[in-house]
Amino acid sequence: MEALRLRAWQLGPGQPTLVTDQFSADDFHLIVDDRADVHVSSKDGRFYLGWFPNGRPGTNSEGWTIAVTGTTEEVPGYRMSFDTETPADIVAAAVSRVL
């Protein structure tokens, strides 16, 4: 019976400050552009986070982008993205693990 119980799944974008509050001005640059998109980059330039509340231009509802540049050709970087409706709690957990 336990396996058949109804679950409450987290839905909706939630509070983006759960993500953006993880960045300090000492270590990161924060820019809000003319579309109200938020861009965060590490001062060394290897980390990038973009938040696109209305979707990233040229994509299909991409709301969040996280990218880390690799150190050499042997150690490549990576990129991940989340939909505009992905709960901020989930994005915040991913960012926390990256940081």
Chain segment 8-32, per-residue pLDDT in tens: 888 888 899 999 999 999 999 999 9
pTM, entire model: 0.87
94 Cβ partners below 8 Å, 6+ apart?
66, 80, 82
- Using left for φ > 0, alpha for ψ between -120 and 50, and beta otherwise, residue 96 falls in alpha
Sign of CA dihedral 11, 54, 59, 81: negative
E strand segments, 14-53: 28-32, 38-42, 47-51
**Summary mean pLDDT of the chain:** 93
| Residue 44: band (very low, low, confident or very high) from pLDDT cuts 50, 70, 90 | very high
Q: Could you give the CA distance from residue 10 to residue 81 in angstroms, rounded to a whole number? A: 18
